[in-house]
Amino acid sequence: MKKILVVEDEGILQKNIIKILRLEGFEVIGADDGASGVACARQESPDLIVCDVMMPEMDGYQVLQTLQEDVNTALIPFIFLTAKTDRSDMRQGFEMGADDYLVKPFDADELLRAIDARFKKQEVMVNRLSSLSEELGRLQEFLDAKDGLMTNLNQELRRPMSNIKMALTMLQAQKTPEAQERYISILEEEFSREISLLNQVEEMQKLLTPENVSLLRQFHLLQNR
């Protein structure tokens, strides 16, 4: 059940709004002024706030600004209720981060359409964030796999190079053709091994894409880090 906070200092209007929203199945909390609205928002974490603009002491703009300065309430959808029809007033609210404006007097359908639109927009944003989070997860998995692969390949490439250096050193020290032939054979084997590993690196680079990481791990072609 979605929870809505109604911040309105006109008692009758607040009661009517609460009644309309409860009939639609929402959980509704009422606040009689701006300061109470801020306190309720912080305590109750509503899914949406409907707030009057013109209130004594702390007006709707101050309520919105205060909530946006708090990381726990900054992203709550916010709808202003106002008797002002001046475009500059509306622009001020939108520039501050309000999601919508309802000009008094308004009917129940206008209110419900505005709320429904905010929740649909919020759902789209949540889905987009979820998709981005999944993409980031796949990208991180890809980067981890690539780092792990390169670490393993680096170790594998070092082995034949070490053997090649050792064989060259020993070859230079040999005096007989038979002994030299032995180390030449070792060099040929290690050179072949090195070329084979380099070819594997090239093939793995072609295969190693974010889409293929999970598949490669299923066939144990990549190690989990």
Q: Is 93 exposed, middle or buried (0-12, 13-18, 19+ CB in 10 A)?
A: buried
Contact 55, 25 (CB under 8 A): no
Would you say how long the chain is, in residues?
225
| pLDDT tens, position by position, 105-135 | 889 999 999 999 999 888 887 787 777 677 7
Give the integer Cα–Cα distance in Å for 184 and 90. Answer: 85
CA distances from 97 to 8, 40, 77, 92, 209 (A): 19, 19, 9, 9, 39
Q: Which residues contact 27 (CB under 8 A, 6 or more apart)?
A: 1, 2, 3, 4
| pLDDT tens, position by position, 6-28 | 999 999 999 999 999 999 999 99
Least confident segment among 36-40, 75-79, 165-169: 165-169
- Residue 196, both tokens: 């084979």
pTM of the entire predicted model: 0.61
- In angstroms, how far apart are the furthest CA atoms of the chain? 110
Give the domains, in start order, of the chain with CATH numbers. Answer: 3-106 (3.40.50.2300), 133-218 (1.10.287)
Q: What pLDDT shows up at residue 1? A: 87
Q: Where are the beta strands (DSSP E) in the chain?
A: 3-7, 27-31, 48-52, 78-82, 100-103
Reported confidence tier of residue 221, pLDDT bands at 50, 70, 90: very low
Q: Which residues contact 144 (CB under 8 A, 6 or more apart)?
A: 225
> What is the phi/psi pair of residue 6, to 5°?
-110, 115
Half-sphere exposure of 195 (CA within 13 A, CB side): 6
Half-sphere exposure of 61 (CA within 13 A, CB side): 9
> What is the phi/psi pair of residue 70, to 5°?
-105, 120
Q: Which residue would you say has higher pLDDT here, 166 or 19?
A: 19
| pLDDT tens, position by position, 169-219 | 777 777 677 777 777 777 777 777 777 776 766 666 665 665 555 545 554
Per DSSP, 166 falls in state: H
